[in-house]
Amino acid sequence: MRMTMAAMIALAVCCSATAADAADSARCADRNALNDISVDARLVAIKYYFAGLVRASTDRNRQACYQAHALNDPAREVLNKTLQLIERDCSTIEAAARAAIESACP
Protein backbone atom coordinates (compact mmCIF):
# COMPACT_ATOMS: atom_id res chain seq x y z
CA MET A 1 0.00 0.00 0.00
CA ARG A 2 2.76 2.46 0.91
CA MET A 3 4.68 1.57 -2.21
CA THR A 4 1.61 2.21 -4.37
CA MET A 5 0.99 5.56 -2.69
CA ALA A 6 4.63 6.61 -3.18
CA ALA A 7 4.47 5.62 -6.84
CA MET A 8 1.28 7.64 -7.34
CA ILE A 9 2.83 10.73 -5.75
CA ALA A 10 5.99 10.40 -7.86
CA LEU A 11 3.91 9.98 -10.99
CA ALA A 12 1.83 13.08 -10.20
CA VAL A 13 4.94 15.20 -9.62
CA CYS A 14 6.59 13.87 -12.77
CA CYS A 15 3.57 14.47 -14.98
CA SER A 16 2.79 17.93 -13.63
CA ALA A 17 6.35 19.08 -14.31
CA THR A 18 6.15 17.71 -17.84
CA ALA A 19 2.84 19.46 -18.47
CA ALA A 20 4.28 22.75 -17.20
CA ASP A 21 7.31 22.37 -19.48
CA ALA A 22 5.07 21.65 -22.45
CA ALA A 23 2.88 24.68 -21.71
CA ASP A 24 5.95 26.93 -21.43
CA SER A 25 7.34 25.49 -24.65
CA ALA A 26 4.11 26.18 -26.53
CA ARG A 27 3.84 29.68 -25.05
CA CYS A 28 7.38 30.53 -26.14
CA ALA A 29 7.29 28.84 -29.54
CA ASP A 30 8.40 31.96 -31.45
CA ARG A 31 11.28 32.60 -29.06
CA ASN A 32 12.39 28.97 -29.23
CA ALA A 33 12.26 28.98 -33.03
CA LEU A 34 14.27 32.21 -33.24
CA ASN A 35 16.87 30.92 -30.77
CA ASP A 36 17.76 28.16 -33.23
CA ILE A 37 19.21 30.67 -35.72
CA SER A 38 21.90 33.36 -35.53
CA VAL A 39 21.14 36.86 -34.26
CA ASP A 40 21.44 38.40 -37.73
CA ALA A 41 19.05 35.81 -39.13
CA ARG A 42 16.61 36.57 -36.29
CA LEU A 43 16.52 40.22 -37.34
CA VAL A 44 16.02 39.21 -40.98
CA ALA A 45 13.10 36.97 -39.97
CA ILE A 46 11.53 39.86 -38.04
CA LYS A 47 12.15 42.19 -40.99
CA TYR A 48 10.31 39.75 -43.28
CA TYR A 49 7.42 39.76 -40.83
CA PHE A 50 7.23 43.55 -41.08
CA ALA A 51 7.47 43.34 -44.88
CA GLY A 52 4.42 41.09 -44.78
CA LEU A 53 2.60 43.60 -42.58
CA VAL A 54 3.36 46.36 -45.07
CA ARG A 55 2.03 44.31 -47.98
CA ALA A 56 -1.08 43.21 -46.08
CA SER A 57 -2.01 46.69 -44.88
CA THR A 58 -4.61 48.60 -46.84
CA ASP A 59 -3.84 51.89 -45.10
CA ARG A 60 -1.28 53.81 -47.21
CA ASN A 61 -0.18 55.95 -44.25
CA ARG A 62 0.48 52.89 -42.10
CA GLN A 63 2.35 51.23 -44.96
CA ALA A 64 4.62 54.27 -45.33
CA CYS A 65 5.19 54.49 -41.58
CA TYR A 66 6.03 50.78 -41.22
CA GLN A 67 8.30 51.00 -44.24
CA ALA A 68 10.17 54.00 -42.83
CA HIS A 69 10.50 52.84 -39.23
CA ALA A 70 10.77 49.06 -39.51
CA LEU A 71 12.19 48.31 -42.92
CA ASN A 72 14.35 51.31 -43.86
CA ASP A 73 15.76 52.33 -40.46
CA PRO A 74 19.54 51.84 -40.56
CA ALA A 75 19.69 51.68 -36.75
CA ARG A 76 17.15 48.81 -36.72
CA GLU A 77 15.55 50.16 -33.55
CA VAL A 78 12.12 48.62 -34.14
CA LEU A 79 13.61 45.29 -35.19
CA ASN A 80 15.88 45.14 -32.13
CA LYS A 81 13.04 46.15 -29.82
CA THR A 82 10.85 43.41 -31.33
CA LEU A 83 13.57 40.83 -30.76
CA GLN A 84 14.05 42.00 -27.16
CA LEU A 85 10.32 41.68 -26.45
CA ILE A 86 10.26 38.17 -27.90
CA GLU A 87 13.27 37.06 -25.88
CA ARG A 88 12.40 38.82 -22.62
CA ASP A 89 8.62 38.42 -22.43
CA CYS A 90 8.13 35.28 -24.55
CA SER A 91 5.80 37.31 -26.76
CA THR A 92 4.68 36.06 -30.12
CA ILE A 93 6.31 37.77 -33.07
CA GLU A 94 2.98 39.41 -33.89
CA ALA A 95 2.47 40.89 -30.41
CA ALA A 96 6.10 41.98 -30.10
CA ALA A 97 6.11 43.63 -33.52
CA ARG A 98 2.94 45.58 -32.82
CA ALA A 99 4.23 46.69 -29.41
CA ALA A 100 7.62 47.70 -30.83
CA ILE A 101 6.24 49.88 -33.61
CA GLU A 102 3.27 51.30 -31.70
CA SER A 103 5.12 54.42 -30.52
CA ALA A 104 6.41 55.21 -34.03
CA CYS A 105 3.24 54.37 -35.95
CA PRO A 106 0.15 54.79 -33.75
pLDDT in tens, 35-89: 888 888 999 999 999 999 999 999 999 999 999 999 998 999 999 999 999 999 9
Domain residue extents for the chain: 28-101
* Sequence-separated (6 or more) residues with CB below 8 Å from residue 104: 65, 69, 78
pLDDT in tens, 22-49: 555 677 888 888 888 888 899 999 999 9
Q: How many Cα atoms occupy the beta-carbon half-sphere of 100 within 13 Å?
A: 27
Q: What is the pLDDT of residue 24?
A: 57
